[in-house]
Chain A
Amino acid sequence: MSTTTVMQERDVKKRTFMQKMFKIFGKTGTYTFLLIMALIILFPFYWMIISSLKTLPEYRQAIPTFWPNEVMWGNYSKAFTTANLGNLFLNTLYVGVVSTFASLIITVLSAFAFARLEFKGKEPLFGALLATMMIPGELFTITNYITVNQLGWMHSFTALIVPFLVSVFYIYLLRQNFMQIPNELYLAAKVDGTSDIKYLWRVMIPLALPTLISITILKMMGAWNSYIWPKLVANDEAHQMITNGLRNAFTDTTGQADYPVQMAAVAIVSAPLFLVFLCLRKYIMQGVSRSGIKG
């Protein structure tokens, strides 16, 4: 009996030592892995920045340079003055904020219905929704264009916002998240007589906050990057979006883009977006620890 205890003790000691070593190795390994991946991920961003500082001939060189021979800060001032950046920025911000906000409401309500409520035809409806993701969206362009035109929405913010408010992609994502929240919470709330909206607001949304922030980021990015649709339905000065403005402003006579200036412009307009991310990041990382849900 006593020998086994001794052995057990020794075992425990050995284990803690091993664990420590493991921890140190683990941490170094983790950091090395993350740093290498970060470098790989960072490379295109670096490339964008140095490209935005090159002259066009240098940008077109067969053998690319890793640092501009001549740093062209002028590209930035050119980008600033050529395109009406202020106006483009405000338009994009407006479309981005409104569509993100409306889209979040629709997504939350739909995801809640799919995750929590029982109704006839739920599974087939959800399946059909998923199925709509499987057809290449390019086929929809012409039909939607005609629809928007007949609704009289041409050259308006409505045409830029409404057609893309519903994203099955995000409904699905949020449903997955909502499903993880124990059903007992909902039933308990029901017994207490809490309304659905109140429950959503008090419990579901705080718990799913990281996912909702992710959706917000992606949706804002969508407004920033959309190109083909805005060009079709609202390419006038009052409604022009940032990508369209940039592409049009920096093409030369032969229809080729002046890429360095274009990239400078992208860098300029990405800056506010980047700041938004920095502000939102803490909510993603904070997670549920503060929500204090104890069932």
Chain B
Amino acid sequence: MVESKQQWKAWLYLSPAILLLLVFTVWPIFNTLRMAFLDGYGNMAAMGGATFEFGIENFLKVIDYDKFLDCLKTTAILCVATVPVSTALALLIAVALNSIKPLQKTLQTIFFLPYVTNSIAIGMVFATMFNIVGYNPVERAADTWGIINLVIQFFGGEPISWINQGSSYTANIVVMIVYIVWNALPFKILILLGGLQSINKQYYDAAKVDGTRKARVLTRITIPLLSPMLAYVIITGFIGGFKEYSSIVGIFGEKMGPPDDAGRLNTMVGFVYDALEKDRQGLASAGALILFVIILLVTMFNNKVIKKHVHY
């Protein structure tokens, strides 16, 4: 009897969410599907009275794109590299922040500041730090090397072209990783800190009585108890990572690459944007659905791995 009561109660509680999702998420997804399966569909063209055949041409065309694999590769590299790094760093910061008394409030406030910082400012800082102004690759001369290169030179290293002409793909990716990790940190710190606070203090008190070592407390108590939040941060991190686009525009601009190789850092969502701008909603939708399938597979894999380690 409890069973059936729970049934209708569950649906009652879920009803506002489901209703809104049906209208503002499921319906658009349905439309996305429709556009993806209409050959060469364009919204403007449809408004202009053009008709489209049902077919899978959009999907074939996406796969046929010369740089489709490059887009996928960049997307995957950025995703795989940034999620573990940012999660680990955020965890360390959250735990450290939780373990101190003096300065705790001040530091926590500082870690919140990125939320009230203008996104243009964040992009600018990064571009400025890595940018070489007036770079001359032949004479290896420049007007300004940028902060990062100055640090490298200070330690006796050779300056590197990070985002300017002659920069390597690896250098570009490194810049993107640093930028994305930085961008992702505040959110993750906030979530993990919230999670840490939900852990019952009794566990720690018990550990203290036993004289357990710090590192052991971290791996044996904190991480397992925090695992639901870590799972959340990792899974949503991957989903977000696969949709990476605006951070690349933040550093490299709309050209999505260094000046001598525009489009080098294009990603799947970048591809979708391009298609949208050219009134090719069909192509964009097909690209997005292909991306969707990839994210779905990765998420399921993540879920499988994570599930073994999550303790509720």
Q: Could you list which residues of chain B lie within 8 angstroms of chain A, going by C-beta atoms?
A: 2-3, 6-7, 9-11, 13-14, 16-17, 20-21, 23-29, 31-32, 43, 89, 92-93, 96-97, 99-100, 103-105, 107-122, 124-125, 128, 133-134, 143-144, 182, 185-187, 190-191, 193-201, 211, 214, 225, 228-229, 231-232, 235-236, 239, 242-243, 269, 272-273, 276, 281, 284-285, 288-289, 291-292, 295-296, 299, 312
Shortest Cβ distance from B32 into chain A, in angstroms? 5
Contact between chains at A132 and B21 (CB < 8 Å): yes
List the one stretch of A68-76, A90-98, A164-172, A232-240 in contact with chain B.
A164-172
Chain A residues within 8 Å of B43, by CB = 142
Task: Give 9 closest A-B pairs by Cβ, nearest first.
Answer: A287-B197, A210-B194, A140-B28, A270-B116, A48-B121, A119-B10, A143-B28, A176-B228, A134-B295
- Complex contacts, A163 vs chain B, CB 8 Å: 20, 24
Q: How far is the CB of A53 from chain B (nearest CB, A)?
A: 13
Q: Chain B residues near A194: list those with CB within 8 A.
A: none
CB <8 Å contact, B143 and A62: yes
Determine chain A's interface SS by DSSP, over half rule.
Answer: helix
Q: Does A40 contact B (CB under 8 A)?
A: yes
C-alpha spacing A113/B10, complex, angstroms: 5
Given A31-B100, A34-B103, 10 new contacts (CB under 8 A): A45-B113, A47-B125, A117-B6, A134-B296, A135-B289, A136-B269, A140-B29, A168-B21, A214-B190, A263-B121
Do residues A211 and B25 form an inter-chain contact, with CB atoms below 8 A? no
Q: How far is the CA of A132 from the CA of B27 in the complex (A)?
A: 11
Cβ A273 vs Cβ B116 within 8 A: yes
Residues of A within 8 A of B182 (CB): 40-41
Contact in complex: A45, B134 (CB < 8 Å): no
Task: State whether B243 touches A166 (Cβ < 8 A).
Answer: no
Docked Cα-Cα span, A35 to B103, in Å, equals 10
> What are 28 A-B pairs with beta-carbon distances under 8 A?
A34-B107, A41-B186, A43-B125, A44-B122, A44-B125, A48-B121, A62-B134, A63-B133, A113-B10, A117-B9, A119-B7, A136-B291, A139-B272, A166-B17, A176-B231, A177-B228, A179-B312, A180-B225, A210-B194, A211-B198, A214-B190, A266-B118, A274-B112, A277-B112, A285-B193, A285-B197, A287-B196, A288-B199
Q: For B24, list chain A residues within 8 Å (CB).
A: 140, 144, 147, 162-164, 166
Contact A143 B31 (CB under 8 A): yes
A1: Cβ under 8 A from any B Cβ: no
Cα–Cα distance between A40 and B89 once the two chains are bound (Å): 13
